[in-house]
A and B are shown apart, each in its own frame.
Chain A
């Protein structure tokens, strides 16, 4: 066995001006091993990875050393570094959407690397590119070479990125959250592919992730990062079975508690929907035929006071469209009955007085709050419409109370959204809904943009608010682990239809439908439910 490590970080720090985002990081990666670097957003894990090939933005200044086979990568000449980039060390980025050039075909992009880095001829490169696509499991590789990135699915794009990364036979592969942007079932297959390639090609792998429970399945060693520092490191088996640090334990336990089953009772029905359908017409122009995409296709559901209906599904399953259709924010077919009143025939003006009782919380706490409004005005804006008689002082008092209710300091009302963290912003978004005393809240992936530890807090908040006010929730999420923390019932959606619907426990423990089974297996790895 070689005694010298393959790659070693020696007191790596990365500074942006006076503030350091990576502080004094030291660890080693052995030949052929999988080293996982785990941490929540802002922990410095991606900055650490980018520093290896000196891909940091120009305003960042790295210090310390990253030694690869006896040479310090940070001190290497640009020429020597370019010789290592791609050939010896290759990188897979998180976003398969933006990591590939949208203006060039997949074949041209892989081919360029093969020609310019491996010295292959045009025809040899084309042939090799086809083999690579085949190797990463893309069907019809010859045809796919001519495809442009936007013509591929997210999973296929990530496969192309992997094909590019392995094209020069590197010894070390750095994968920065390679599956985070993908649906769970797709992510599971990409991970399988990576591990398979690693075994077959004998590469070492540095795997960057926010998800310790994902990493436990294949990592040899683990580095846990927080605020730019490594807080715990060592062999994966040790860290995962006996974590020494509180923070590591938190990351490991960071799967939200499932909600206890609650009796249905005879609470009044808040919302019932029959046969909801919604079709988008793709604009095909006058020469192309009409093409309709059924985003939602014949969905029926019932929701009682104080209960949560979880809607599970991957991207494109129609779950968000359904959520908006139920609130009549987009036109759909079918009957919607809210608190005994049929909404189907109501027009915009007739809907307006009902709107305050039906609120919506969005996924993106960055995009859903106007950056030019103070938090107090954001929270109380709905009152201007629904209770126009209120005075400015009374609105402000209510905003303060609403912020207290979501466990935020009422003084935040004078601040702007950009001064708040993601978790705080999502609390503001919830306060904005709650101030109107709604009876039904549609939560569209309210925790998906947040770190696990923050997710758990938001879920607890939502649960408390529900108990205190008897709210009915429609909780839309792709993440079954999050869903089971809040949902009494779950409906699994695929291609606009509900493929399975029932008590949460039953769906999670004994799904009958094949797709629901695959979703559950991908979410919980089959080893815990």
Chain B
């Protein structure tokens, strides 16, 4: 088990390196630069700026310098918000986004699994039909439709929840964005659990348990463990989906998270800011996939031995 974790961690290093390299060079391929404005800067000023931010060095050297500072944990200065370093910007925004994402994932897991179990009965039963229907809407409705509807309903009509803002993470402000972000994930997890449990109950070794007259709860426990595996492997992907989904949700609800840096940074060619968000997102995705691998190995001895 420990060997698996160490091996995966070491395997993550080249993955992260490739992502950083690809993002770094692709960004430089995009036309324009961080200091372009409506009115062109004085050539000397531009030259000075480029020298200060070391953008006048050869590209390979810039890449090397970036890697070195990255290893030291320094994302560099923001090229757009010139009074702040990327680290300072993230120190404020990351906890907000992390809270939002973690809550959405947790909701997806809890509600999704519960719904999946409820819908795992007979295919024509009421539970199964409800889960089927809910899952369908959850998947097809995009966040930019769900969010305004929720704002209209709960904010403007019922006046029970605020339509936006963060207020330092007040629980009332969190409910709508977390739900919007979690909805498609809830639907997918529910479907995976539902199908996983149905398939598991038809497995030959479940029939073996029935042949021994073992109690229903014992049989359910065996089936559940087999059914969790497909849902678990989806969680890595779900984490990535939540991260990208948060860009839209944070914008709609006006939440001061990482999402806006993604968009603003890319539009303003704020090289260091975009690179910082890319590194953070990539590291999170790698981390969640590692968690999934560990969970999988913990549940399935066949994986453990590979």
Contacts and interface: CB of A to CB of B under 8 A. Distances in A.
Contacts of A1: none
Contact of A95 (B204, B222, B300): B204
Contacts of B210: 53, 55, 85
B207 A55 contact: yes
A163 interface: no
Interface in B193-234: 203-205, 207-215, 218, 222, 225-226
A460 interface: no
Nearest to A116: B214
A286 interface: yes
A225 B218 CA distance: 36
B203 A81 contact: no
Nearest to A57: B202
Nearest to A81: B213
Interface string A157-193: 0000100100010000000000000000000000000
Given A98-B204, A102-B302, A103-B225, A116 B218 contact: yes
B302 A285 contact: no
B214 A150 contact: no
A91 B7 contact: no
A90 B212 contact: yes
Contacts, number: 82
B249 to A, nearest CB: 37
Contacts of A116: 214-215, 218
Contacts of A85: 210-213
B7 A93 contact: no
B82 interface: no
B301 interface: yes
Contacts of A53: 210-211
B211 A150 contact: no
Nearest to B223: A101
A88 B218 CA distance: 20
Interface string A81-114: 1111111001101010011111111000000110
Interface string A223-256: 0000000000000000000000000000000000
Contact of B299 (A55, A103, A164, A285): A103
A82 B211 CA distance: 8
A86 B208 CA distance: 10
B3 interface: yes
B218 A112 contact: yes
Given A116-B218, A287-B3, A287-B7, A99 B208 contact: yes
Nearest to A97: B204
B113 to A, nearest CB: 18
A112 B205 CA distance: 14
Contacts of B3: 285, 287
Secondary structure of the B contact surface, majority rule:
helix
A524 interface: no
A112 B209 CA distance: 10
A463 interface: no
A416 interface: no
A98 B218 CA distance: 18
A469 to B, nearest CB: 43
B212 A164 contact: yes
Central interface residue in B214, B300, B305, by most chain A CB within 10 Å: B214
A76 to B, nearest CB: 12
B301 A87 contact: no
A90 B302 contact: no
A401 interface: no
A148 interface: yes
A101 B205 contact: yes
A216 interface: no
Contact of B204 (A86, A93, A103, A150): A93
B203 A86 contact: no
A86 B213 CA distance: 6
A81 B301 CA distance: 33
Nearest to A105: B301
Contacts of A93: 204, 207-208, 211
A100 to B, nearest CB: 6
A272 to B, nearest CB: 40
A117 interface: yes
B226 A91 contact: no
Interface in B1-35: 3, 6-7
A113 B214 contact: yes
A500 to B, nearest CB: 35
A282 to B, nearest CB: 10
Nearest to A89: B211
B208 to A, nearest CB: 5
Nearest to B204: A98
Nearest to A286: B7
B212 A98 contact: no
A133 B212 CA distance: 18
Contacts of A86: 211-214
Nearest to B7: A285
B205 A100 contact: yes
Contact of A112 (B207, B214, B301): B214
A91 B207 CA distance: 10
A529 B236 CA distance: 60
A232 B6 CA distance: 64
Nearest to A287: B3
Nearest to A103: B225
B256 to A, nearest CB: 43
Contacts of B302: 102, 148, 150
Nearest to A174: B211
Nearest to B202: A57
Interface in A268-286: 285-286
Contacts of A287: 3, 6-7
Contacts of B203: 98
Interface in A96-153: 98-105, 112-113, 116-117, 148, 150-151
A113 B209 CA distance: 9
23 contacts: A55-B211, A82-B213, A85-B211, A86-B213, A91-B211, A91-B212, A93-B207, A93-B208, A99-B204, A99-B208, A103-B222, A103-B301, A104-B222, A112-B214, A113-B214, A116-B214, A117-B212, A117-B213, A148-B302, A150-B301, A164-B212, A287-B6, A287-B7
Given A104-B225, A113-B214, A116-B214, 15 more contacts: A86-B211, A86-B214, A90-B212, A91-B208, A95-B204, A98-B205, A99-B207, A100-B208, A101-B205, A102-B300, A102-B302, A117-B213, A148-B301, A148-B302, A287-B6
List of 3 A-B pairs having minimum Cβ-Cβ separation, nearest first: A85-B213, A86-B212, A82-B213
